[in-house]
Amino acid sequence: MNCIDYRRLITSDPSHVGAEGLRHRLACSSCASFAVEMQQFDTKLRQAMMIEPPRDLESRVMLAASGRSTTRRRWLAVAATLVLAVGGVVTVLNSYSLEQLPDHVIKHLYHEANLLVPVSTELVPAPRLRQVLKRTGVELSEDVDEVIHAGVCYFRGHLVPHLVVLSADGPVTVMLLPDEKVDETMPIDEDGFHGVIVPVKGGSIAIIGSGNYPEQIERQFVQAVEWQT
Amino acid sequence: MPKHFQFEALVRSVLPELHSYALWLSRDPHLAEDLVQESLLRAWRSLHTLREAGAAKSWLMMIIRREHARYYERQRPVPMDIQAVDFPEALLTHRDEDPEIAELRRAIFELAQDYREPLVLQVLLGYSTKEIAEIMDVSQGAVLTRLFRARKQLQKKLATEDEIAQK
């Protein structure tokens, strides 16, 4: 194999040059350098090709699998009416017990582990926050401070807002759960996470951090949250 | 394991690569999401027949490919002028990313479909040239030629961008 053949081969298929190609590489330092360059180029190619899916795509797929939606084009319409429909319909929720709620919250935190160490402390603009909440049938009667992430997650058969709020002790997760009716405050104290699930107007809010309990954040959300169901 | 959790694990394991593949195939973020969702719903319906995520990924990739082809069959006649499609800024979402990666992404976007798809199948999904030839129904030699030209075009494009930046 000569240099031209080798370079053509490695440009086509850098990972499979075969025994003959390998022998040429060992004998030719110039082609060995070329091979390293091609492998570095392929590493960058893979990096460039990997595009993170939208954060809510997984939730949408799970929702669709539960039989309530089909495609993205229908998604917005379905999402807007879903919460209204849920009140009168027997849903997957029935298969989840209330006792498991704290465990499921912790499990969800691990599932969204990247949010526990936010890469940015940039605040979510108020219109974006309102938009996210509206999609799940939630409103805030007054502004809340320091929200650095607002997304929609599939949780126990429902789409719910998952927020991250910055506190003096680090990020605090706030999950607004209009469909989880709890009779009294449920403490969460597991794996270094401290928080509560508090009953609010027929639904509940889960507030969890890893530092001191963020009472101020609880007060803000308990006062401001309004369910639109 | 309950079917719901089994499916959730499958979705999580294949979603990033499948979504990227659908995006590079269609060059349309919205269509890509529909293709992924549709293929995963089929997986949900046939979950009992799937044994491992690796096999599921190949199967899902083929569904995406077929659905994508069907979509364009329904849309005919559509001029496939590669310059006519604007680069979706949604592909540049990584704030702290190397600018070279962003340029490379633009360059991949502008590659002709015949060059872009085998490259994505090889680099992103790890298929061999023989497997790509079977998927695309062309000879292995044709795949090697397309891969060679695809990389050369990308390198040339990046070199040109560098020259422009240095001027």
CB B85 within 8 A of CB B26: no
SS3 A121: coil
The first and second tokens of residue A109, run together, are 């935190």
Alpha carbon distances (Å) from A107 to A6, A50, A175: 51, 27, 13
Residue A118, pLDDT score = 65
Distance in angstroms (rounded) separating the CA atoms of residues A204 and A58 = 24
Domain with CATH 1.10.1740.10 in chain B: 1-78
Look at A119 and B9; give whichever has higher pLDDT: B9
Residue B77 pLDDT more than 70?
Answer: no
Whether CATH 1.10.1740.10 fits B1-78? yes
ipTM value greater than 0.90: no
B46 and A CB contact within 8 Å: no
Higher pLDDT, A44 or A213: A44
Q: What is the mean pLDDT of residues B125-137?
A: 91
Would you say domain B84-167 falls under CATH 1.10.10.10? yes
Q: List the 8-27 stretch of A: residues with Cβ below 8 A of B.
A: 8-9, 11-13, 16
Residues of chain B contacting A16 with CB distance shorter than 8 Å: 128-129
Mutation pick from B13, B44, B74, B151 vs chain A, by most beta carbons of A within 10 Å, is B151
DSSP B18-30: HHHHHHHHH--HH
A70:B41 CB<8 A: yes
> If 0-12 CB within 10 Å is exposed, 13-18 middle and 19+ buried, where does residue B106 land?
middle
Integer Cα distance of A146 and A174 in angstroms: 12
Contact A159, A152 (CB under 8 A): yes
Q: Which residue among B19, B24, B96 sits closest to A57, beta carbon to beta carbon?
A: B19
Distances (CA, A) of A145 to A35, A125, A137, A168, A209: 53, 11, 20, 12, 16
Q: Cβ separation of A73 and B34 shorter than 8 Å?
A: yes
CB B29 within 8 A of CB B8: no
Confidence of residue A90 (pLDDT cuts 50, 70, 90): very low
Nearest CB neighbour to A53, from listed B8, B15, B155: B15
Question: Which band of pLDDT confidence, cut at 50, 70 and 90, is reported for residue A104?
Answer: confident
- Cα gap A36→A7, rounded to integer Å: 11
